[in-house]
Structure formats: C-alpha cells, structure tokens
Structure 1
Amino acid sequence: MTMPRTRSFVQVDVFCTGPYSGNPVAVVLDGTDLTDEEMQRLARWTNLSETTFVLPPTAPAADYRLRIFTPRGELPFAGHPTLGSARAWLDGGGTPRDADRIVQECGAGLVTVRRDEDTLSFAAPPRVREGALDNEYLHRITAAFGIARDRVVAHQWVDNGPGWAVLQLPTAEEVLALEPDLSLIPDAMVGAIGAHPDGHPYRFEMRTFAPAVDVPEDPACGSMNAAVGQWLTSTGAAPSSYRVSQGARLGRAASIEITADPDGTVWVRGAATIRIRGTITL
C-alpha cells in the first residue's frame, strides 16, 4: 500500500456548452506509485463515469501516460477523459514537445490531441472491432430499448477499446424517448444515435449506456462518438463535419464536433473547462 501524500487534483467539465453542462472527469495529476487497487478505489469513490491518473510516459513520443478507470474497472481508452486530462495536464504546467499537439499514451496506444483556441480535439484511435451486430445481440438490445426491430436503421460494432456497439434510429426524437431496461443487457456497452430534422443546429442526438462498467448513462461520450464518426463518415451516412448533442435526458447540454480529414482521420472536438482545482490525499 502506498504511503498517502498530497497530490494535485482537478475536475474537468468536458464537451460543455456552459457551466456544469458536460461530462465531468476527475484527474489526479500525479499517479506515480499508486497501486491498481488504490486507483480503482478512488474511481469507485468519485462515482464518475471515469477517473484518470497522469503518469510519466514510457513511449518516447508521448508527453504523458494516462490510466483511465470507471467505477468497475480500467479502460484502454476513453474520449472525454482524454480531453479532460489533457486540459488538466496543460493547466498543471505540462509542456508538450509540439506546441500545437499533445501525445497521450494509454492502453490503446498513442493518441494525438490538438489545441484549437479554447477547445481540444483528439484523433480517433483505430477500431478493434467493427461490422454488423449478430442477430442475438441485436435482439437483446432492441428488447432492452423497448423498440421493434424495424425501428433500427443500421447497427454496428464501434469498439475502440471499451466494447461499444451502436444502433441508428430514424430520428433524434426516438433516441430521446428511449427508456431502456438495462437489467436485460447488464454486460452491454451500447449507444443509440438518430438524426435531428433539417435546420437543427445539431446533426445527430446520441445516448450511450454502459451498464458493463456501472455507468447507466453517460452524459457525453467521446469514444463512442469517435468510432461512430469513423463509421458514418466512411460509409457516406454523414458529412465530413457534423455536430452531436448529448446528455439532454440527464439535464446536460453537451456538444461534440466530428470532423473527418481527407485521409480518413476523424477528430473529436469539444470544450474542456476546469471546474474544481485543489489537492487530494492518496
């Protein structure tokens, strides 16, 4: 067990459109010498969708290494913790090798983060699983969502580490109306996306449910939006640049911007604002 000491600690509001409107992430800016068990215990205690720990890098090209924990376990990658931890690292005096980009090392490898004025964006990592869902899993999800199979426009594995799958529904209204019974899919990491009508400021509405890691619904999910962005832009189902709204059913107002470069790289952009700054004894 580590001898407790004072460490820098911040809480960052990610993908926010105003104060306390996004998804918070807790960041311990010096996770050196903490055990896996100590990191997991804090993540259970904060009870946020993710708690992260910044460590010295082991890869020569990285600026820092990040470990990401949910209340139940560790993830190789997650989106809003990537942006929130980058903001915390910069605020804590971190200096990247390249002035315009930060390189994060995590379980999924190296992830590039760009600084764009007041926002940050990360390059979506490669998907480790893609393709249509099998009929049995699709049936379990539609049953949990309480919808008929014919309301599913498309479905896909969009797994870049956490295990995500997604269902595309005809409209944002149908996504917002979902009242899922997550007891029917306790091991799932699944989302639903649907289009807003023409003229709406956002192209899509997203909701993400993660009962597998004890997060019933995530207010704003960068990793899901990253992989869904890769899927939709590569198939022509979405333009190369669009915005997603998320969190309305949880009283949030998150804004996530997706941009696909000509070479296929997908960037996930959003605000990341520090709301709490202090110390923690670990």
Structure 2
Amino acid sequence: MSLEYFHMDVFSRSPYSGNSLPVFLEASGLSAPQMLRLTQELRHFEAIFLEPTGQLNRVRAHVFDMFEELPFAGHPVLGAAAVLHYTSGLTSPQTWQIELPTKVVSITTEQTEYGYAGLLDQGRPEFLGVVSERERFAQAFGLVSDDLHPELPLEVVSTGLPYLILPLRAGVLARASICNDISELLQAVNAQFAVLFDETELEIRHWNNDGLIEDIATGSAAGTIGAYRLRHRLASGGERFILQQGRFVGRPSLLYVQPEGTPAAVQTVKVGGDVVLVGRGRIEVLP
C-alpha cells in the first residue's frame, strides 16, 4: 500500500512561507501509531489524515503533532479543506464539514489568484478562568511581571484546545522564550498550551511546551485571541482583524480572525487565511 499526501502552506499567499502541512487525503485503515510515525518522519509542525464518510463534502480527520494526536488544530483543518477543494475540481465556493475526535467544524473555501482562501468556524469558545500568578508565568517565558500588559488579565480560553493567554506590553515579544518545560504549570491552571499576545501590534507567539519548537501560525490560538479580544472589548462582534505570527522564525504569516457576538456572550470565532499548494508526494513504505 502506498499513500499520497499534499504539501500545503497555510496562512500565506506565497509558497515557502506560512505554516507548512502534509495532508493525507485517503488515510483509512491507518492506526494512531502509524499516523504519529508518519508525522514524525515528515517533521512538519502537524499533519492531518482524512477518511471519507460517504457524505458529500464531509470527512473524518485526525491531527497529529510530533508527540500526540490533537483534538483540534486550526491550520491543518484549513489546509485540508483547501486540498479537498483542489482535488474536487470545483471552481465555485465550497463548504466542508470535518469530523474531529471531539467536534465537527465547518470550513468555507474559495479559489483565489494565489490558491485558496479558507474560513474556519471554530464554534463557541469556553472561558476557563483568569489566572492570578502573573509573576510566575512571566518568569516561565524569561520575563518579569512588568512585561505583562498592566490592564489585561491572564486568562485560559478554549475553542477546542485550552490556551493560557498572556498579554504583553508592546515590544516585549522579541525577548520571550521558554526556559524550562511549562506543561505542569499549564496543567495547574487547566491549560494545554500558552500563547503570548501583543495587543498593540496584534501579534502572537506560541511554542511547544518544552520551548524547543516555535510554531509559525497557530489557528487554534488565534481563535482564543479573537474570543478574548471581544470579551475584553478590544474587538467588535462581526468585525475581522488580522493577527501576525511567524516573523521570529522567518515565515511571516497572516491570520484573519472574526469573533461573533457581544462581550457578554461570544457566540463563535472564525479564523481564516490563504492556502497555497507547494507539492505532493507518496509514501511507498508504511510504518
């Protein structure tokens, strides 16, 4: 058995920018250990594996990073929807349903002069609590409490993955890094990951919890930022804003974020961006 995959760059209009991704269009029959080994072999930040459901424009999906399966991730879902549109041969805008382990998400795609543009509806966010240990979490990123934004709270928000959002003063992002694994710190506040956020520049940074790999463009984190900004009256319901990410690793990316609802009741967050095809490959020997 051989296995075809597509190499996509997400949140960019140009190949070799944005966040790269392998999309396995037909992964039926693969086990979780096989999908993890394939992800580790290709060494993109994440990989997505699709299975047909028998329903038009609806597939099942499994997303892996190089450590485990994730219940949700933004850029793999957007990249997968672009591949589905590309292989369908259709030229009109399309809507896709992707079944993830914990929820079903909807993505609209359309052709552009660069490739495809996608918009992912991440659903209703959960606000899981404000965190008071400002000094402790600032130190986890090599910072001090004065580097945190003086008026905005540290808060755990989820649209499928719970992130601790750390709002920073302008200009501080460049000095941040993870010194030691922060997994236990995050678990103590019911978060799985952390995202640093500069409200002045509308820019974010995110790493694996051990700090060894910095992500390029994080759609799931962008969704939590959209919910956070609407809740704290930094954004308006129904209005789109652009988040920047990836410049510190040489792959600048643009993420389009549109929260819906009111500060008292955030209904959903949509996250989108451009997707381009880089190439395709074939696995001849399965793990």
User: In which range does the TM-score fall when normalised by the shorter chain?
Assistant: 0.7 to 0.9
Q: After alignment, is 33-42 or 108-117 more displaced? A: 108-117
Give, in angstroms, the shift of residue 246 of structure 1: 0.5
Q: 1:235 aligns with which of 228, 232, 240?
A: 232
Aligned length: 265
Task: Find the aligned partners of 1:190 and 1:251 in 2 and give their Cα distance.
Answer: 21
Which letter does structure 2 place at the counterpart of 1:272? V
Structure 1 residue aligned with 2:32: 36
Alignment correspondent of 1:206 = 204
Alignment CA distance shift 1:106-1:241 (3 Å):
same
Show the 5 A alignment for 1:139-158. Answer: 139-153=135-149, 154-158=153-157
CA separation of 1:179 and 1:57: change in aligned 2, threshold 3 A = same
- What is the letter of the counterpart of residue 231 of structure 1? Y
Q: Does residue 115 in structure 1 map to residue 118 in structure 2?
A: no
The residue aligned with 1:6 is 2
1:254 aligned partner, one-letter code? S
Q: Corresponding residue for 1:200? A: none
Which residue of the partner structure matches residue 65 of structure 2? 70
Q: One-letter code of the match for 2:49?
A: F
Residue 192 (structure 1) shift: 0.5
Q: Which residue of 1 aligns with 2:96?
A: 102
Structure-2 separation of matches of 1:129 and 1:238? 16
Q: Helix, strand or coil: the match of 1:265?
A: strand
- What's the secondary structure of 1:269's corresponding residue? strand
1:78-89, aligned counterparts within 5 Å?
78-89=73-84
Aligned residue identity for 1:228: I
Which AA in structure 2 matches 1:15? F
Report the RMSD for the aligned CA atoms in angstroms. Answer: 2.5
**Alignment partners' CA distance in 2, 1:257 and 1:232:** 14
The 3 A distance-change label for structure 1 pair 155 and 257 is same
Question: Which digits, 9 at most, give the CA deviation of each residue in 1:18-47, with x for residues without a partner?
Answer: 221100111111110011111111112122
1:203-251 CA-to-partner distances (Å, cap 9, x unmatched) read 5011012226x86210000000011101212331234321111001100
Counterpart selection for 2:196 from 192, 195, 198: 192
Alignment gaps of 5+ in structure 1:
197-202
- Greater shift, 48-57 or 214-223, is seen at 214-223
Matched residues in 1 for 2:122 and 2:160: separation?
11
Percent identity for Structure 1 against Structure 2:
25
Distance in 2 of aligned mates of 1:93 and 1:117: 12
Deviation, 1:179, is 3.0
CA distance in 2, matches of 1:109, 1:61: 18
Q: Is the 8 A contact 1:22 1:219 kept in 2?
A: yes
Question: TM-score, structure 2 length as denominator?
Answer: 0.83
1:102 is displaced (CA, Å) by: 1.1
CA distance in 1, matches of 2:195, 2:276: 25
Is the aligned partner of 1:161 residue 2:152? Answer: no
Q: Residue type of the partner of 2:277?
A: I
How much does 1:72 deviate?
0.4
Secondary structure of the equivalent of 1:92? helix
Q: Which moved more, 1:33-42 or 1:259-268?
A: 259-268
Paired residue type of 1:105: E
Aligned position for 1:170: 169
Q: Distance in 2 between matches of 1:234 and 1:241?
A: 15
Residues 220 and 247, structure 1, Cα contact 8 Å, conserved in 2 = yes
With over 3 angstroms needed to count, the CA separation of the structure-2 counterparts of 1:89 and 1:26, relative to structure 1, is: same
CA distance in 2, matches of 1:8, 1:162: 29
**Does the aligned pair in 1 maintain the 2:195–2:205 contact within 8 Å?**
yes
Distance in 1 (alpha carbons) for counterparts of 2:106 and 2:145: 38
Q: Structure 2 residue aligned with 1:53, among 49, 52, 56?
A: 49
Q: 1:133 aligns with which of 124, 131, 134?
A: 131
Distance 1:94 1:139 in 2: 53
Offset, 1:14: 0.4
Structure 1 pair 94–30 and aligned structure 2 pair: CA distance change class (3 A): farther
